[in-house]
Every structure is written in structure tokens, then in C-alpha cells.
């Protein structure tokens, strides 16, 4: 896998490839706007172009943008749904401008309206957003969830439903968060292979465009979304060895989203290397 991490944009978008390299990372994920706010200023054209050039010069093509946490494309409330949809399309356009092919987003929550309802609304929003950004190559990359609250997207069946409903398969992808999958009842500690086989038969491995590589603070299957630094949580060490030796995932970026961010990533990298994993 291509090791990466979620990076801060405090030095500007164009510095991301250099900052990633300084941390020993091959790729990176970032927010293109404040993730806790609905509105964002339009991107500065020169700044966006500078990122495109910097990523090209560094030979990085698998970087990702993480969409705002506020979005809920599964919301039963018309207002919230519309606001989410508009912000989502804006995120896709920003990704396009920044030259980033993968927009990772949490599918959404049903808020009492039922999982089926939410999944249907999410798939409709995805098809509409693809239509509204026709010509773009940016992929809508759905992240699996821990199943906390009324979030959907915690099971492979949910992801399979979305993959099936989206008409333009070139524009869809999935991001597997190891902490979320473990919390949702997939025992990656002991059965990574059966998780990947089930994903392959119901969705297709080639649709995995990213991993979020996080350890889990809490024990198995509690639906609690709390990340931990690698090797310090409840996932087995075998999990990491198996993940990095799986040839089907050799070209997939693995983004760290562990506590302490940039301060903590060196610990995570050191841990992976201590297991004999070549990064
Ligand atoms: Zn994640
Ligand atoms: Zn999480």
C-alpha cells in the first residue's frame, strides 16, 4: 500500500506534497475547506493550480480530499438534504480544481427515517451530483462507517447497494476505514481475508480507492468511532502485516487519521516498520 495521512493545510495546498514527504509519507488526504462550516470561500485559482503542479511534480496521483463532516445526504429533512447536496457538489468542484481525483465522504444518517430510506436518498444524491459535475473525473468515494447513531454505510451490503445504484461506475469508489469496519463487526484482526473476499464478491475490490488506516480505541463491534495510534488499540498486529502483504491492495493509498495528527504519525510509521513492513 501507499502510506499516507490526513494533513493540515496550514502551509497552503501547494506545500502538501513536500510536507507529506518530510513525514515519510507517499501520499496525503486533506480538507479543501473548514470541515465544520457549511460555506467556504471560493478557491483561489492560482493556489489551486499551484497544488496541481506540486502534486504532478511529486508524481502523486492518489491523494484524496475528505468532505465536510456536516454533510448528510441521507437526511429525511428537505432543508438539510438540500444544504448537504449543494455543499457536496461544491466539494466535488473544489476537488476538480485542485486536481484531486478522490472525494471521500461519510454516506449519511437516517435520523429515524430508516436505513433503506437514507440509502435511497444517498444514491439519488450521488447520481444527481455526477450529472451536475458532468465531464469531471473526480470520484465519489464512500467511506464505511462504524455504525454509530443512525449512520448507514457500516455494512458491505449497504456499500453494495450504493455501488449498484450509481449508474456511472467510473465515478464511484470506496474507502475502507479499519477502525470503522472493526467497530461495525468485521473482525479484521483475525479475518481480513474474508472481509476482502465478501467485499470483492458484493462490490469489487477494484472499487477500493483508499484505506483509512486507524487502530480502534474500543473493543470489537461496539459501533464506537474512536481512532487510536497504530499498535496501541484493539486491532491485532497481524492485521497490519496481512493488509500490507495483500497484493490486491498494493496500489491503494492508506491514510492515517490517528490521534495527534502530524505529531503522532512518526509513531505510527515506526510501529509499521517494527513489524517488518516496507513503506
Ligand atoms: Zn476515516
Ligand atoms: Zn472514524
- Within a domain: residue 231? yes
Distance 278 CA to ligand 1 centre (A): 23
- Give the number of other Cβ atoms within 10 Å of residue 276's Cβ: 10
Residues 196-240 have pLDDT tens digits of 999 999 999 999 999 999 999 999 999 999 999 999 999 999 999
Full-model pTM: 0.98
pLDDT band at 89 (very low <50, low <70, confident <90, very high): very high
Task: Report which bound ligand comes closest to the CA of 104.
Answer: 1
Query: Domain of 57?
Result: 2-274
Distance 121 CA to ligand 2 centre (A): 22
Residues 2-25 have pLDDT tens digits of 999 999 999 999 999 999 999 999
- Within a domain: residue 248? yes
DSSP 133-144: TTT---EEEEEP
Residue 54 confidence (pLDDT): 98
- Give the number of other Cβ atoms within 10 Å of residue 42's Cβ: 11
Strand partners, 143: 175
Distance 224 CA to ligand 1 centre (A): 13
* Cβ neighbourhood burial of 150 (10 Å; 0-12, 13-18, 19+): middle
Distance 180 CA to ligand 2 centre (A): 6
Distance 112 CA to ligand 1 centre (A): 24
- Within a domain: residue 279? no
Residue 35 confidence (pLDDT): 87
Distance 256 CA to ligand 1 centre (A): 8
Q: Is 195 helix (H, G, I), strand (E, B) or coil?
A: helix
- Here the contacts of 41-45 (C-beta below 8 Å, separation 24 or greater) are 43/94, 43/97, 43/98, 45/97
Q: Average pLDDT for residues 38-63, to the nearest whole number?
A: 96
Task: Report which bound ligand comes closest to the CA of 211.
Answer: 1
- Within a domain: residue 107? yes
- Within a domain: residue 94? yes
pLDDT at 148 over 90: yes
Calpha distance 239→173 (Å, rounded): 23
C-alpha angle 155-179-243 in degrees, rounded to nearest 5: 95
Mean pLDDT of the chain, nearest integer: 97
**In this structure, what C-alpha cell is assigned to residue 115?**
436505513
If one counts the domains in the chain, the total is 1
| Residues with Cβ within 8 Å of residue 255, at least 6 apart in sequence | 4, 5, 6, 27, 28, 29, 64, 210, 211, 212, 213
CATH at residue 191? 3.20.20.150
Amino acid at each position: 500500500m501507499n502510506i499516507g495521512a490526513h494533513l493540515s493545510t496550514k502551509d497552503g495546498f501547494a506545500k502538501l506534497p513536500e510536507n507529506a514527504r518530510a513525514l515519510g509519507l507517499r501520499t496525503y488526504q486533506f480538507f479543501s475547506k473548514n470541515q465544520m462550516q457549511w460555506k467556504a470561500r471560493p478557491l483561489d485559482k492560482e493556489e489551486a493550480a499551484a497544488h496541481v503542479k506540486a502534486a504532478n511534480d511529486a508524481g502523486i496521483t492518489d491523494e484524496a480530499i475528505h468532505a465536510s463532516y456536516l454533510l448528510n445526504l441521507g437526511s429525511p429533512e428537505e432543508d438539510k438534504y438540500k444544504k448537504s447536496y449543494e455543499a457536496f457538489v461544491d466539494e466535488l468542484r473544489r476537488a476538480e480544481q485542485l486536481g484531486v481525483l478522490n472525494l471521500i465522504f461519510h454516506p449519511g444518517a437516517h435520523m429515524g427515517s430508516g436505513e433503506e430510506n437514507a440509502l435511497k436518498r444517498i444514491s439519488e444524491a450521488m447520481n444527481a451530483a455526477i450529472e451536475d459535475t458532468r465531464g469531471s473525473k473526480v470520484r465519489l468515494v464512500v467511506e464505511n462507517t462504524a455504525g454509530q447513531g443512525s449512520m448507514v454505510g457500516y455494512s458491505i451490503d449497504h456499500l453494495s447497494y450504493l455501488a449498484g445504484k450509481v449508474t456511472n461506475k467510473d465515478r464511484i469508489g470506496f474507502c475502507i476505514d479499519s477502525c470503522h469496519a472493526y467497530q461495525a463487526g468485521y473482525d479484521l484482526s483475525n479475518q481480513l481475508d474474508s472481509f476482502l473476499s465478501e467485499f470483492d464478491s458484493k462490490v469489487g475490490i477494484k472499487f477500493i480507492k483508499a484505506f483509512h488506516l486507524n487502530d480502534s480505541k474500543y473493543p470489537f463491534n461496539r459501533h464506537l468511532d474512536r481512532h487510536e495510534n497504530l499498535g496501541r488499540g484493539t486491532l491485532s498486529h497481524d492485521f497490519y502485516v496481512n493488509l500490507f502483504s495483500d497484493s490486491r491492495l498494493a496500489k491503494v493509498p492508506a491514510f492515517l487519521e490517528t490521534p495527534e495528527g502530524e505529531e503522532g504519525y512518526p509513531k505510527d510509521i515506526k510501529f509499521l516498520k517494527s513489524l517488518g513492513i516496507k513503506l
